[in-house]
Amino acid sequence: MADIAVSRVVYTLPRNSIRLVADHFGERTGQPVLFVHGGGQTRGSWYECCRLLAKRGFFAISLDLRGHGESDWCPDGDYTIERFAEDILNVADTFDTPPTLVGASLGGVAALVAQGEGSYSERRGFSGLVLVDIVPRVRDQGVKKILEFMSARMDSGFASVEEAADSVARYLPHRPRPKDLSGLARNLRHSGGRYYWHWDPKFITGTSRGEGRPPESPERLEAAARNIKVPTLLVRGAKSELVDSESARQFADIVHHAEFIDIAGAGHMVSGDKNDAFTQAIMEYLLRLSGPDPSEPY
């Protein structure tokens, strides 16, 4: 089968005319699957998974959230969970049929709020949810570790992509340091001779930064989760710093119909740590929902 064409698309949001950039994989006639990355990441995190899904007939969309990647930075620094939730609902509304939403960390929190909160009850929402290593109650220490890493070189940046790779290797010692740094380079922006993470520093420092994100309000997220009626899958990294087995069990008690997959050897950055295993798990689940035989090779 010929390789899948990838097109870059820009969505202009109703509020503030903020532009969000996405990659489209495959034909719009396929069942849409909208991928939303975690805080501090970009749409490049999902590239290989989206490409393989498109080869199986899905229409895969990987989105840069506001303040991330090529999407606009928010002029007023509004990075609350309400805005992220509204953004992904606005993008989802552009498709003929509601997409399945695959959300990692921040993207998964936004999906829970968008699908489960009453304030969005008039919106069409999503046909299904895949939450990647995120549940309402996460480990505070894991969140602290992530924020410390994101903040450490936020202002000073790096002299080279290689220096950034060294920093990531120290932060994720269980993950082999890649020989090809092109993927990491997509998560960096070059300015004034240095490389910086490809996101707006106000996402971390702003006064309107994601107040609904865990661990700030797990009760709010649990209330939203109780309203989730669409098919739901939780994919957890078995070595996750955020979601332990007890947190996963608590989520299963709230969303009784949810399915659960552990990805061995993966931490919180599941798709980056074990991309092949992650892609296989997502592929089989989506194919089962849509009807084709998941045993068919891809």
Q: Taking the domains of the chain in order of start, what are their residue ranges?
A: 6-138+208-290
- Give the residue-averaged pLDDT of 216-221: 85
Q: Which CATH number fits domain 6-138+208-290: 1.10.230.10, 3.40.50.970, 3.40.50.1820, 2.60.40.1120?
A: 3.40.50.1820
pTM: 0.91
pLDDT value for 295: 44
Lowest mean pLDDT, pick from 120-129, 155-164, 174-183, 248-257: 174-183
Tens of pLDDT, residue by residue over 24-46, are: 999 999 999 999 999 999 999 99
Output the pLDDT for position 293: 47
Helices (H), the chain: 47-55, 81-92, 106-116, 140-152, 161-171, 182-185, 202-205, 218-226, 245-254, 270-273, 275-290
Q: pLDDT band at 190, cuts 50/70/90?
A: very high
Residue 59 in this model has a pLDDT that exceeds 80: yes
* β-bridge pairing 232-237 and 128-132: parallel
Would the CA dihedral through 180, 191, 36, 234 be positive or negative? positive
Q: Give CA–CA dist 103/90, Å, rounded.
A: 15
pLDDT at 139 over 70: yes
Q: Which of 43, 39, 51 is nearest to 107 (CA)?
A: 39
Pairing of strands 128-132, 100-104: parallel
Spatial contact of 47 and 62, defined as CB atoms under 8 Å apart = yes
